[in-house]
Each structure stands twice: as structure tokens, then as C-alpha cells.
Structure 1
Amino acid sequence: TGLPLIMLSPLVALLLGMDVYGWKIMALTLLLGTPALGFLAAPGVGLTAGLRRGGVLLGILVLPLSVPVLIFAAAAMDAASMHLPADGYLAVLGALLAGSATLSPFATAAALRLSVQ
């Protein structure tokens, strides 16, 4: 889970010399991005559940899906480091989280049905 990452984010922000605004944006990107990545990975795990060496295939399936989350989280951190508003990037991350949370259970169920057959 991403809870330990979020709890350690003040320490990381202190070590990186970030201000309070940068730390808040980092905590929000972790709060929105980590569950979104988990929801995006779930259908891939369902597809590779019955395979012996499914780890490589899982990486190939999930990595392209995780790129938008990483891009918008990095853009939000870049905007925060320049003291610009990061609301738009956080809104897109929230939309990605909402979309992945909505569609992931159906995609995972379909993937598990396919892997069982």
C-alpha cells in the first residue's frame, strides 16, 4: 500500500529541502497516484494469475497504463517546485483515480474469467 510512503513524505520533503507547499503537493500526488496505480495493475494481475512466469508479462501490460499517472504526478511536483498552481494536474490525477477505481473491478473480473478458462 501507499500509506507508508505518505507517512514518510514529510521526512523526504525535509531531506529534499522542500517547502510546505511542495510537501502538500507531494502528499496529494502520492495519495491520488498510488491507489490509481494499484487499480491499473489489478487487471494485469488477473490476466497473469495462472502463468508460471507472469511477472515479465505483467510488467509489459501494466507499464504503459502507469505512464499517465507518473506524468501528471511529476508535472504537479514540477509546478509546486516553481510555486505555480498544481490544481489542474491534481484534478487529472483524481479523475484517473476515479476512472480506474470504477473500471478496474470489471476489468479484473473479466481477466480472471479469461485466465481460469
Structure 2
Amino acid sequence: MAAQKSADEAATMSQIEQERRKDEREHLHRDLHPTDQTVVESFLKGSARQNLFGSLTVKREVRGHAETVLGPNARGPVTGLPLLLLPNRAYEFHIEDWRDGQTKPQVDEIVFKF
């Protein structure tokens, strides 16, 4: 009986500790996420053949990754972004080649993961 009571108390304590750690991780994620302080802009660059580029500026140091979304099942790489982004510095990255006569991007969106 005492062994069962001890096991039940240990299980309860373990559950409480797991929930506390989950709360801490969620709080840390919210505090470190670069939400509305991140600035992203896009622009065409080049003379004979243009390319669509983007610029990303974050307000705090973050690790990040980005990819382009070309449709429901098509993703592609974003080139030019380092893994570690330093604060208040504009990082330029390539989104897509711009074909002659093209008037809008083929890329639907860019997904950033910080």
C-alpha cells in the first residue's frame, strides 16, 4: 500500500514537472519570437535579366531558415540568408528569377522559421 502511494505521488510530481517545463518552453518561445519587429521587403534587381530579391531585418539575434512556396505541394530554397541573423542588419536573399515580360512573382509566399 505504501509503495503504491509513493508511486502515485511520484507520477503526480512527474506530471507537474512536465507541465511546468512545457509552460517554460512556450513562454521562452513567445519572448524570443521575432513577430512584428521583423521587417521584410521585396524588390527587383538586375539590368539585362532581373531577379526578385528580399530583404530581412530582425530586432534581436535569431537562428532562422526560409523557403519559398510555389503552390500546395511545391517548395523551394531561399538562398543568401545565413543561419544566424544579427539584430538591426538587413540581409538580402534571392527569391526567384524574373522572366522577360513577367509582371508578378511565381512564388506564392515565403515561410520563415525562427
TM-score class normalised by the smaller sequence: under 0.3
**Which structure is higher in RCO with an 8 Å CA cutoff and minimum separation 6?**
1
The answer to which structure has the higher helix fraction is: 1
Q: Rg: which structure is higher?
A: 2
